[in-house]
Amino acid sequence: MEPNVIELNGLTKKYGSFTAVDDLSLSIRKGEIFGLLGPNGAGKSTTILMMLGLTDPSSGTVAVCGINSTKQPVEVKRKVGYLPEDVGFYDDRTGLENLVYTARLNSMAPAEARDSALQLLERVGLSNDLTKKTGKYSRGMRQRLGLADVLIKNPEVVILDEPTLGIDPAGMREFMELILRLSREEGITVLFSSHHLHQVQQVCDRVGLFVKGRLIAEGDIRSLSQQLFGNEPVMIEAGALHPDKRLQEAIGSIEGVNTVRLENNIFRIGCSRDVTPAIAELIVKSEAGLCYLQKREYGLDDIYNRYFEGGES
């Protein structure tokens, strides 16, 4: 088994009486893409700051690449690339200058810094804009420059805080693909936080659900849905033109069906196994006018919603 690159143990951060992160334990393996998912203010950014040693935890330990972030932040920051939420650059400098500056802060020689900056700019698709002042960059360009900025130190771990915030869908997809490719090619461990479900679902190997400072579930999407919807892993939606109570009861009595709900002429049927043919047959026979039938696997949306329904009540 691969060693754990990020190891959080009982991590807690309190601001006065407010607990931003509550007894968080998490480990992330090498080469993994981990998504930290949660609504705003859930403590995602605070957790990330603690991983980088930019904030001291109230209790608990953080180790990144086996180094304690609280005690040796500089050593950790040598190995970790961090893209802050809404990253900023020196606006009166060009993209290239900004990158070279970062490289030199990482103890690179000027010539070496310039070479790798040029390479990276090429890689993130900014080679036409390298002499442009970053003040004139668009949001998407800044984000890509931020990625180059993170990669220039040849990190073992990349931490991205809300990397896709404010980019249009096309740019977002491009950006996520870039991250995915980099992680696979170079074996970089990626941790990113987001409140955006779909992108996380697309690229992440594992997801941690973060609500009010607590990690309430973690795992890949399949195992998450297993945890949550254990008794009804399959959801079938069936639309009928003339649904009625009798039909609903009939569906409920099919073996394997656990719950049936009727909303806007659509039956939502939670089943313990795939019983689509039986349901279809039943509805067709009842002449209720089957107009729509879909088998769904639970996506993050459902997981997310389910958690927040539970969390609020």
Partner 1 sequence: MKLFDTSSANGVMHPFRVIVGKEISDHIRSWRFIILAAIILLTCFGALYTSLSNFSKVIKPTDPEDAFFFLKLFTASDGTLPSFLVFISFLGPLLGISLGFDAINTEQNRGTLSRVLAQPVHRDYLINAKFVAALTVIGIMFFALGFLVFGIGLIAVGIPPTAEEFLRIVFFILLSVCYVAFWLNLAIFFSVRFRQAATSALACIAVWLFFSVFYNMIVSLVAKAIMPSEIASEYQMLGFQRFILNLLRVAPGQLFNDASTTLLMPNVRSLGPLTMEQVQGAIPSPLPLGQSLLIVWSQLTALVAGTVIWFGLSYLSFMRREVRSR
Binding site for partner 1 (CB under 8 A): 45, 49, 52, 54-55, 74-75, 77-78, 80-82, 84-92, 101-102, 104-112, 146, 149, 153, 161
- Pick the closer one to partner 1 by CB: 45 or 70: 45
Distance in Å, CB of 44 to partner 1, minimum: 12
- Pick the closer one to partner 1 by CB: 54 or 216: 54
Distance in Å, CB of 280 to partner 1, minimum: 52
Distance in Å, CB of 230 to partner 1, minimum: 38
126 alpha-carbon distance from chain centroid: 25
- Pick the closer one to partner 1 by CB: 144 or 206: 144
- Pick the closer one to partner 1 by CB: 77 or 144: 77
Residue 243: CB partners within 8 Å, gap ≥ 6? 262, 265, 267, 288
Distance in Å, CB of 2 to partner 1, minimum: 25
- Pick the closer one to partner 1 by CB: 46 or 225: 46
Distance in Å, CB of 76 to partner 1, minimum: 8
Distance in Å, CB of 89 to partner 1, minimum: 6
- Pick the closer one to partner 1 by CB: 41 or 311: 41
- Pick the closer one to partner 1 by CB: 90 or 308: 90
Whole-angstrom distance, CA of residue 52 vs CA of residue 74? 9
Distance in Å, CB of 196 to partner 1, minimum: 17
The separation between the first and the last C-alpha atoms of the chain, rounded to the nearest angstrom, is 39
Cross-strand partners of 232: none
SS3 track for the chain: CCCEEEEEEEEEEEECCEEEEEEEEEEEECCCEEEEECCCCCCHHHHHHHHCCCCCCCEEEEEECCEECCCCHHHHHHHEEEECCCCCCCCCCEHHHHHHHHHHHCCCCHHHHHHHHHHHHHHCCCCCCCCCEHHHCCHHHHHHHHHHHHHCCCCCEEEEECCCCCCCHHHHHHHHHHHHHHHHHHCCEEEEEECCHHHHHHHCCEEEEEECCEEEEEECHHHHHHHHCCCCCEEEEEEECCCCHHHHHHHHCCCCEEEEEEECCEEEEEECCCCHHHHHHHHHHCCCCEEEEEEECCCHHHHHHHHHHHHHC
Distance in Å, CB of 107 to partner 1, minimum: 5
- Pick the closer one to partner 1 by CB: 88 or 289: 88
- Pick the closer one to partner 1 by CB: 95 or 146: 146
Whole-angstrom distance, CA of residue 79 vs CA of residue 76? 5
Distance in Å, CB of 12 to partner 1, minimum: 15
